[in-house]
Amino acid sequence: MVDGFGRPPPRRKGSEPFFSGPGNEEKYKMVTVPSSDQIADKLKIHRGSHAPRWVWRSTWRVHGYSLPLLHAMDQARSQDLDYSLKCLWCKALSGLDTTSPAYDGGLAYDMLPSGTRRILRLPSWLFPRLIHFNIELRTAYLAQAVQREVEQFGMRKIRLVTLGAGYDARSVRLLTTGEVQEAWELDVAPVVTSKTIMLERLVQRRHQSLPPLKLPNLLVQDLNDIDGYRKAVSNIIGSAENTSEWHTIFLLEGVLIYLDDNVPRSLLNSCSDILRSERVSGSLVFADLFRELANFDVGIAGDFYQSMGWDLLYDSWCVKPGLARHMGIARVEKWRKYF
């Protein structure tokens, strides 16, 4: 553990980041989709287990069937006994691995209910690297991507806005380490209610930690309600006394999959429009599925994001196996003309 608050351990000697470097806009053509092993090697993650597809599906289902038992005595009384909670358990497992870039110092683990969470302390070989490995890939990718944007725009105050954050602990870590100065998480009411209790539990368990934990602002917002979403984000970004001092990072992780048709495009259009109208610089960091983007060619992807007001960083583009397959960084660059 480096600082006790989830900062990933330093990369091993000789390792390189996934990205070729900030500001590199050189286009390349992706000939084939990289294998999970290739992405894992690039991110310095232990490779996943190889198994038939039916084994992966069965593992995911068994995890879902076990959630009511795992949370039977949970005071949070989570109504979302499916995807978001599954992800929390998977991230908690990776977050305990000090050799992984997804290591979080046990933050996700400390959000889980007492008693049953101790299952994750069993020997790692009891947990085949299947579903939690796939989530670890995107968690590690997003950690590096956010870090890249923080370093690129470190002269400004950083605001992190996570859409459909679920039970992720990323905002807590980034706020506590001082890498971001403000964090907002938007999600539906049942998730926000449960996560509020989970964060209270986390603070109680870490009450003696130094520095003390800092928590994100949780906001109830149905992302399918575009008008309500646009108003909420406008209020968040426009609330600063001097908006030009801020850089806003919008983060998407496996949320667009569950939204209504055409909503993802409207969300991204709204974000870029708000940034320009408020004269604020911004980034989009994502590991999600854009159903309109059937082709994995980076040139086509660049045109796709450009149509919604975002400039894709070509060296960040990656397509991985799995449902939330599109990973990358995009920016609203034209804000500079205002300053």
First-to-last alpha carbon distance for the chain, in angstroms, is 41
Instruction: Report phi then psi at 250, rounded to 5.
Output: -90, 130
CB distance 173 to 111 below 8 Å: no
Q: Give the contacts of 287 (CB within 8 A, at least 6 positions apart).
A: 138, 141, 142, 252, 253, 254, 324, 326, 327
Spell out the CATH class of 138-338. alpha beta
The answer, yes or no, to whether the previous bond of 211 is cis (omega within 30 of 0) is: yes
Distance of CA 245 to the CA centre of its chain: 24
**For the chain, what is the radius of gyration of the CA atoms?**
19
CB distance 39 to 326 below 8 Å: no
Q: Which pLDDT belongs to residue 294?
A: 77
Q: Which pLDDT belongs to residue 236?
A: 94
3-state secondary structure of 220: strand
Q: Which pLDDT belongs to residue 295?
A: 73
pLDDT in tens, the chain (339 residues): 344 444 443 333 333 434 554 444 444 455 467 889 999 999 999 999 999 989 999 998 999 899 999 998 888 877 766 788 999 999 999 999 999 999 999 999 999 999 999 999 999 889 999 999 999 999 999 999 999 999 999 889 999 999 999 999 999 999 999 999 999 999 999 999 999 999 999 999 999 888 899 999 999 999 999 999 999 999 999 877 777 789 999 999 999 999 999 999 999 999 999 999 888 899 999 999 998 887 788 999 999 999 999 999 999 999 988 889 999 999 996 544 433
Tokens describing residue 286: 């994502």
Q: Which pLDDT belongs to residue 251?
A: 98
- Tell me the HSE value of 179 on the side-chain side, using a 13 A CA sphere: 22
Tokens describing residue 244: 């030009």
3-state secondary structure of 92: helix
Domain boundaries, the chain: 48-133, 138-338
Instruction: Report phi then psi at 242, rounded to 5.
Output: -130, 95
